[in-house]
Chains A and B, each alone.
Chain A
Amino acid sequence: MYRYILKRLLMMIPVLLGVTVIVFAMLQVTPGDPARSILGDDATPAELEAKREELGLNDPVVVQYVRYLADMLRGDLGESYTSGRPVLQEVMRRFPTTMQLTLVGISVSIVLGILLGVTSAVNKGKIVDKVVTVVGMIGISMPAFWIGLLLSQVFALHLQILPATGWYGPRYWVLPALTVGVNGAAAIMRTTRSSMLEVIRQDYIRTAEAKGAPRKSVIYHHALKNSLIPVITVAGLRVGIQLGGAMVVEMIFTIPGLGSYLVDAISFRDYPAVMGGVLVIAVTFSLVNLLVDILYAFVDPRIRSQYGGGKKRKFQKKEVSA
């Protein structure tokens, strides 16, 4: 197991290097001059040239990239063009907020999604199931920003029971977390439902029922536990989607997180800030994917035994079948 985790962590390195190459290449082809956006429109050509030289923008692209990588390895992501502060510090200051929003949101998704999914699968074909399925489908069809607008319209503007902007404590988390969570809840509900329906048909469920196990225990212990693998996959994917979607949700609720930072950075052509932000999100996303794969092993003993052997052949076999 530890060897597998180590291997996966090592595999993250080339992926993240690839991310830096892609983002760097993208920023290179971006029209616009960072020197001009720093100095403003009334800067003289000489000032612009001096600024460009200072930022190292006149060097060949490869030199700039290697310099960036070398700095990155020393924990230096450069200074933001707009604020002049170190990017790593800025990003890390905002990162916990975004992570909080994502985690609270995904918890809402998981709890709501699994509860509704199980309810609907157990009552398959009945009214409850039909209502939940239709509501679930509507839930994944609503754009997150509209959900956010509706929620703040109802709860903040009209009922005035919850704040619509800011990020100062649990009371402020409710609306953004719901906004982030509704889509995910619908997606997880759908997966839970179909996975549960699949499992309920299995022989061991019939066995459990036949030996007189209480209904609750059959549903939650035998059935739900065995239907969790696809649910974990979807929940992991949702984290990535929510990290990306945080940009929009943070804008609606004016939350000082990484998403709103990135939106500003992109519009001001603040190269180091964009690089840093995207890199941190990519690292987080990769770690979440790793965590999901480790969770599989905890839920499913069959997968755990594959890791335990540590034999190379088994890994290859798993990769081909995946």
Chain B
Amino acid sequence: MNPMASSPSVEMEEEIVKKKSLWADAWSRMRRNKLAMFGLFLVLLILVLAVFAPLIAPYHYDEQNTKIAFQFPSLAHPFGTDNYGRDILSRVIYGARSSLMVGLVSVCVSSSLGGVLGCVAGFYGGKVDNAIMRFIDVVLAIPATLLAIAIAAILGPGLFNAVISIGLSNVGRFTRVVRGAVLTVRGQEYVEAARSINANNFRIIRRYVLPNAFAPMLVEFTLNISTSILSASQLSFLGLGVQPPMPEWGAMLSAGRKFIRDYWYITTFPGLSIMLTVYGFNLLGDGLRDALDPRLKD
């Protein structure tokens, strides 16, 4: 789990030969991983699309014109038009905004909540650990998808509520990962050393435990973005996510379902967009894991 805990001689040798920090080292390893770089490229591409959507999209996402409804992909409308005559390409580009937003923000919700819970449970151990982890057991007994749907149904549909419900439904998973990472670090000599110079618990967690437990957390963070994007599209597909007219890939698929017999392009392009985005984050997460923990790599 802990990339810095290699044998002392190797570490010293690295100090002398390369003088690279863990992150620079990981980055140089990742740059050699073509798939990971492709993932990074996809993620950045989607990010650019989302941020500059108004500049890139050829039409406004809600520009309706029923005269040109259901048009086959052409030069004017590369992805075709939907049942209201809206340009599918533009809606896909604007849809990146909703998906990325839900993905990133909900992971922030689950990582901050799960991070605090897991850190406290792993670091203090004993009764606190027991209480937190039994609670997490209960939460994890309900499948995350079901939990997200139930919370979204309670909060009502909408972008913000989708973020909250997906974020909450992933807290359990995150807590376990962070607790595991903290547990491996807690027993290390440098934590003992910090305690022996009278550092208080908060300082030990902030200065010594968290930085060393950060790698597995970052990997989980990245991989969690992709699951969150998938859950978000699923919620929208069920009508519990982002509300019209704001385009969202899952909602576009759901709306296009009625027309799949004759107009395949209405559902195919939003589906492909979800797939590529999730694919990008998955590749990036895998690449990060390999780069941060070289022992896992063959």
Identify the A interface with B (CB < 8 A): 14-16, 18-19, 21-23, 26-27, 29-31, 124, 137-138, 140-146, 149-150, 152-153, 157, 197, 201, 240-241, 243-245, 247-248, 251, 262-263, 266-267, 274, 278, 281-282, 285-286
Contacts and interface: CB of A to CB of B under 8 A. Distances in A.
A22 B156 contact: no
Given A19-B138, A31-B156, A149 B267 contact: yes
A153 B253 contact: no
Interface string B267-295: 10001001110110011001000000000
B237 interface: yes
Interface stretch (B46-54, B139-147, B189-197): B139-147
B278 A141 contact: yes
Contact of A146 (B141, B146, B274, B298): B274
- Most chain A beta-carbon contacts within 10 A, residue among B146, B147, B150, B298: B146
Interface string B228-262: 00100110011000000000001001000100110
A18 B226 CA distance: 29
Given A18-B137, A248-B145, 11 more contacts: A18-B135, A22-B142, A142-B274, A143-B253, A144-B234, A149-B257, A157-B261, A240-B143, A241-B143, A285-B141, A285-B142
A249 B89 CA distance: 27
B230 A143 contact: yes
Nearest to B254: A145
14 contacts: A18-B141, A30-B153, A31-B154, A137-B282, A141-B276, A143-B275, A149-B253, A149-B267, A153-B260, A251-B238, A267-B153, A274-B150, A278-B142, A285-B141
B264 interface: yes
A138 B146 CA distance: 24
Given A138-B275, A157-B260, A26 B150 contact: yes
Contacts of A285: 141-143
B146 A244 contact: yes
A197 B137 CA distance: 32
Interface residues of B, number: 41
Contacts of A274: 150
A197 B297 CA distance: 10
B271 A149 contact: yes
A292 B237 CA distance: 32
A244 B144 contact: yes
A142 B275 contact: yes
A155 to B, nearest CB: 12
B119 interface: no
B138 to A, nearest CB: 3
A197 B298 contact: yes
B217 interface: no
- Most chain A beta-carbon contacts within 10 A, residue among B147, B237, B276, B282: B237
Contacts of B150: 23, 26, 266, 274, 278
Nearest to B142: A282
B1 interface: no
A153 B256 CA distance: 12
B120 to A, nearest CB: 18
Interface in B126-164: 134-135, 137-139, 141-147, 149-151, 153-154, 156
A31 B156 CA distance: 9
Given A15-B137, A137-B282, A157-B260, A145 B237 contact: yes
A201 B298 CA distance: 10
A263 to B, nearest CB: 7
- Most chain A beta-carbon contacts within 10 A, residue among B141, B147, B156, B260: B141
A141 B275 contact: yes
Given A18-B138, A149-B253, A278-B142, A266 B149 contact: yes
Contacts of B260: 149, 152-153, 157
Nearest to A263: B238
Nearest to A274: B150
Contact of A145 (B137, B142, B234, B276): B234
B141 A15 contact: yes
- Most chain B beta-carbon contacts within 10 A, residue among A14, A23, A245: A245
A248 B238 contact: yes
A27 B155 CA distance: 11
B283 A19 contact: no
A30 B142 contact: no
A137 B134 contact: no
A146 B275 contact: yes
A197 B296 CA distance: 11
Contacts of A266: 149-150, 153
Contacts of A150: 271
B141 A282 contact: yes
Contacts of A241: 143-145
A76 B243 CA distance: 38
B154 A286 contact: no
Interface string B41-61: 000000000000000000000
